[in-house]
Amino acid sequence: MRIERIDCQLLKIPLSRPRASLNEAAAGRLNQISVLLVQLDVDAGLRGLGFAYALQSSGRALHAVAVDDISPLLQGEDARDHERLGAKVYWSLQTVGRRGLVQQAYSAFDVALWDLKAKAANMPLYKLLGGARESTPVYGSDSAWLWMSTDQIIEASQPYFDQGMMGIKVKVGADPEADADRLTTLREAFGDNAWLAVDANERYDYATALAMGRFFQEEIGAAWFEEPISCEDVEGHARLASKLDLPIAAGEMLFGRDEFAAYLDRGALDVVQPDVTRLGGVTGWLKTAALAEQRHRPLSPHLLPEIGVHLACGLPLVASVEYMPWLYPLFTAPPQVQSGRLMPPSGPGLGLTVDPDAAAKYRVAEK
């Protein structure tokens, strides 16, 4: 399966539900997602599809790395050799990107390589990964942004509960008192048995996180406390985990297995949330999952349910998928929720087909 043609496109997709208020947007928080779309054509007549994203940037740098630096390294190579190709890109570009931009750009290529593997085997990716289950628990993650009132959150979230999803994740971190009032109101509205997780996106300091963690644990019965403090404070996470029964979740900002190992070795992480795009693709994600399995820690992929559904249905230790349908407008038939669970597409590979009209609509013109 020699790679004969590589196509890299930059798209900008507006979010169906804004994640930023007007004031936040004016301060630079974006209500759109930049997507690097990569398609690899091989001599076997197959096309591999991969994608990565950027939130707080134009995405042009991501696209430039993909076109100028990574594509020439993969042109003409055997698409089956994902380990060798990953090493080739790593060592070729190490001086400019052991972490961050290069790894995020390469993740789109690695996802495309795995899409090709499963298509060559004529099976869905989750079957190639192990076929642990035929559907996965899923929670809503785009219905409780900080700018939203509790009434708006209830209205936006109720359809997820009506579909039978496990629950929702609520953003916190703007103001502790407001956060407490917000979660109290939502708990009363949805009932004692509703699954509610909280996500601070690193906004609290340690003392505030400890106090709020105790509140979320004792008064709210939260499912987990996500990114309570800065992702760089491993020791702080370890101290929180030792003082709280409430599970600590994190991982979306970590860029390598060594960073996850540092958390896991210190007992700082109860729910592991790796992001495919920050680990160099499916290959790096699977290696991180192996670390979590060794420590008996459940996983929940960060964003991209189009890929997460395959990881969750492929591997037994993946407990849930985050339903954030930001990229859904790009595909003709993205994964759907049935009886409260997210179903993987039945077609080979990722089972995704890019809508050409949508790709043309969202494509960013090259300068």
- Taking only the tens place, the pLDDT of each residue in 106-165 is 999 999 999 999 999 999 999 999 999 999 999 999 999 999 999 999 999 999 999 999
Task: Give CA–CA dist 278/285, Å, rounded.
Answer: 9
| Residue 171 clears pLDDT 80, i.e. is over it | yes
Tokens representing residue 227 in the block: 């990114």
End-to-end CA distance of the chain: 33
Give yes or no for a contact between 321 and 344, defined as CB atoms under 8 angstroms apart: no
10 SS3 class: strand
How many CB atoms are closer than 10 A to CB 82?
18
Determine the Cα–Cα distance for residues 166 and 139; give it in Å rounded to an integer: 5
Contact 87, 76 (CB under 8 A): no
Whole-number percent of the chain with pLDDT over 90: 90
Domain boundaries, the chain: 3-122+355-362, 127-343
Q: Does pLDDT of 253 surpass 90?
A: yes
pLDDT (average), residues 53-62: 86
Examine the pLDDT at 21 and tell me if it is beyond 80.
Answer: no
Q: Is 296 a catalytic residue?
A: no
CA 106 to chain centre: 16
User: What is the secondary structure of 124-142 as a DSSP string?
Assistant: BHHHHHT---SSEEEEE-S
Total length of the chain: 367
Please say if the pLDDT value at position 24 is more than 80.
no
Burial profile 323-349: b = 16 or more Cβ within 10 angstroms, e = fewer: bbbbbbbbbeebbebeeebbbbbebbb
Mean pLDDT, residues 60-79 taken together: 96
83-122 per-residue burial string, b: 16 or more CB within 10 A, e: under 16: eebbeebeeebeeebeeebbbbbbbbbbbbbbbbbbbbee
Single-letter amino acid code for the residue at 316: P
d(CA 318, CA 90): 27
Round to whole Å and give the CA distance between 224 and 209: 13
Provide the pLDDT for residue 9.
96
Q: What is the mean pLDDT of residues 202-208?
A: 97
**Under CATH, what is the fold of the domain 127-343?**
TIM Barrel (3.20.20)
Instruction: Give the C-alpha separation, 254 to 262, whole Å.
Output: 10
Residue 99's pLDDT is: 85
pLDDT confidence of residue 92: 95
Selected catalytic residue, list 82, 119, 302, 310: 302
> Among residues 171, 237, 243, 367, which one is catalytic?
171
Cβ atoms of 337 and 307 within 8 Å: the answer is no
**Confidence band, pLDDT 50/70/90 cuts, at residue 367:** low
Q: Which of 26-30, 78-82, 100-104, 248-252 has the lowest mean pLDDT?
A: 26-30
136-140 and 321-323 beta bridge pairing:
parallel
Residue 171: active-site member? yes
Rounded to 10 degrees, what is the CA torsion of 268, 298, 138, 107?
Answer: 80
Contacts of 262 (CB under 8 A, 6+ apart): 234, 268
pLDDT digit string, tens, across residues 344-359: 999 999 999 999 999 9
Per the prediction, the chain carries an average pLDDT of: 95
Q: Give the model's confidence band at 22: pLDDT under 50 very low, under 70 low, under 90 confident, else very high.
A: confident
- 365 C-beta neighbours (distance < 10 Å), count: 5
pTM of the predicted protein model: 0.95
Name the architecture of domain 3-122+355-362.
Answer: 2-Layer Sandwich (3.30)
- Phi and psi torsions of 66, nearest 5°: -65, -45
